[in-house]
Amino acid sequence: DAGVTQSPTHLIKTRGQHVTLRCSPISGHKSVSWYQQVLGQGPQFIFQYYEKEERGRGNFPDRFSARQFPNYSSELNVNALLLGDSALYLCASSLGGAQFYNEQFFGPGTRLTVL
Amino acid sequence: AQSVAQPEDQVNVAEGNPLTVKCTYSVSGNPYLFWYVQYPNRGLQFLLKYITGDNLVKGSYGFEAEFNKSQTSFHLKKPSALVSDSALYFCAVRANTNAGKSTFGDGTTLTVKP
């Protein structure tokens, strides 16, 4: 079975640009979460979506936005990129729903470099 | 606010010896606790979780973790370490009242020497 997939693998942008990261969850999973992981730190929660609705949002500025599509795939958008946005962006899927205790399955991540 | 502390950046053990990777947490309400492992150039992989019930949870690859409510801890353990266990380990917490947000610790690098 295919795991969580993310695209692109690597991305280089300049300050002020916009970026879109994509994620496809495991088949049957209806929840997708996005995390930012800076070197030396644990993943920082950005968003969670379930059934196309936002279920949670972390402490990130409004430049960060996301959405989930009817096929449960998801996009993370970041506007007006800053140097500090350089990080590994992780997508995780889970069964979701009322089962808050479901473990998450992580994709390999998208490495974003902002110059 | 939720938080997770992994007090040791690095843990070194000899192969065959028991290992412990420490985790303490803070959360409002009852916690759901998780351990994940990250191997070099690979994504995070789920190891085990605590939801409710027995305080000792068994997971993948021979790992187990003990939930201690009074000490708000969820330490990861293995009776006999393998060199292949060397990796970066993350503890995470989620409140049972907040489906959306998982909070991760900063990770502990485990090195098992032959």
pLDDT of B110 > 70? The answer is yes
CA separation for the pair A18, B52 (Å, rounded): 43
Contact list, A58 vs chain B (CB under 8 Å): 101
Amino acid letter, residue A38: V
pLDDT of A98 > 80? The answer is no
Query: Would you tell me how many other CB atoms lie within 10 Å of the CB of residue B50?
Result: 21
CA separation for the pair A41, B64 (Å, rounded): 24
Which residue in B has a C-alpha nearest to residue A39's C-alpha? B106
According to DSSP, residue B44 is labeled: E
Q: Does A36 touch chain B (CB under 8 A)?
A: no
Interchain proximity B104–A33, CB inside 8 Å: no
Amino acid letter, residue A61: P
Average pLDDT (B9-13) is 97
CA separation for the pair B10, B109 (Å, rounded): 5
pLDDT of A97 > 70? The answer is no
Interface of A with B in 60-79 (CB under 8 A): none
Tell me what pLDDT residue A102 has.
82
Average pLDDT (A53-82) is 95
Sheet containing strand A19-24, strands side by side: A5-7, A19-24, A74-78, A64-68
Indicate the helix (H) or strand (E) that contains B15.
Answer: none
pLDDT digit string, tens, across residues B55-67: 999 999 999 999 9
